[in-house]
Structure 1
Amino acid sequence: MNEMRTETRSVVVEREIPHPPEKIWRALTQPHLIAEWLMKNDFEPAVGHRFNLRGDWGGVLDCEVLAIEPNNMLSYTWNFTHEDAAYELKSVVTFTLTPTSTGTLLRMEQVGFRPDQKQAHGGAKAGWQGFLANLEQVLARID
């Protein structure tokens, strides 16, 4: 087996959400709302802005906004460094919003998992299902 393979794996979660893109966009980009469904943060919707996501589990993610198209697409780095190098993760998360007849198709793609990061990849798959379920609850609560 060739150890130099650098192909990476991704996690994709899609959800049909019965709210317009503009409303979902607010929940993706307003720090107090991000904190309710994802993690505590110091996010600002500006390309190049560096911010942290702070998990209840004590971990801190280093992030940088890569691209923003209001009400349409948001992309940022999602990097985690741990003393144990096996847990180091350099990835990119991209949210895409597509209007539908009943609301919005939200697509979340996280790319950058190395083939040996099966635990991180599996954790992200489960984690994003939970995060996006939380997001739907936040959307149901806000005007």
Structure 2
Amino acid sequence: MTDQTAETLSVVVEREIPHPPEKIWRALTQPHLIEAWLMKNAFKPVVGHRFDLTAEWGKVDCEVRTVEPHRTLSYSWGDHDLDSVVTWTLTPIANGTRLRMEQAGFRRDQPRYFGGAKAGWPRFFEQLEKVLANED
């Protein structure tokens, strides 16, 4: 058996966001808010729930793996060739929340997926921060 972690790459984005974890959690788990910053979806924060993220370029198959309200959320993120996991970690800090996203599981022979994630997640974070600034 080989060690998969040694063979895969991850994309990590971490930001300090001036909003409480509860507000960020809503943006990560409510379908209309997810659509505003990420993609169309039928997300439910229930372990085992399967959903698709859809955009004009296609879709991503997902399944919820971990739900710890206001703390941790993870779901698989893949298609016929990609098998990755997105994990969100929310840590309260004095002026808001430290939000960390890691997408793990990119094989070294998947530079297109890895490059797309490296370019895409910072843009998704920008959109998420705009949604948070406008959401009460």
TM-score by structure 1 length? 0.90
Question: Match for residue 44 of structure 2?
Answer: 44
Measured in 2, the distance between the counterparts of 1:5 and 1:45 equals 30
Question: Match for residue 142 of structure 1?
Answer: 135
Question: Match for residue 91 of structure 1?
Answer: 84
Question: Match for residue 76 of structure 2?
Answer: 77
Question: Match for residue 118 of structure 1?
Answer: 111
Structure 1 residues 5 and 103, CA gap change in structure 2 (3 angstroms): closer
SS at match of 2:36: helix
Segments of 5+ residues of structure 1 without an aligned counterpart are 82-87
**Matches for 1:3-18 after TM superposition, within 5 Å:** 6=4, 7-18=7-18
2:14 is aligned with what amino acid?
E
- Mapped contact 1:39–1:56 kept (Cα < 8 A): no
Measured in 2, the distance between the counterparts of 1:139 and 1:113 equals 29
Measured in 1, the distance between the counterparts of 2:114 and 2:13 equals 13
Question: Match for residue 32 of structure 2?
Answer: 32
Question: Match for residue 67 of structure 1?
Answer: 66
Query: By how many angstroms is 1:5 displaced?
Result: 8.2
Kindly provide the CA deviation profile for residues 22-51 of structure 1, in whole angstroms up to 9, marking residues without a partner as x: 000000000000000000000001000000
Question: Match for residue 55 of structure 1?
Answer: 55
Q: How many residues align?
A: 133
Measured in 1, the distance between the counterparts of 2:74 and 2:3 equals 25
- Mapped contact 1:34–1:40 kept (Cα < 8 A): yes
2:101 counterpart of 1:108: yes
Structure 1 residues 20 and 125, CA gap change in structure 2 (3 angstroms): same
Q: Which segments of structure 1 move beyond 4 Å, counting only runs of 4 or more?
A: none
Query: By how many angstroms is 1:119 displaced?
Result: 1.8
Measured in 1, the distance between the counterparts of 2:3 and 2:86 equals 22
Query: By how many angstroms is 1:123 displaced?
Result: 1.0
TM-score by structure 2 length? 0.94
Segments of 5+ residues of structure 2 without an aligned counterpart are none
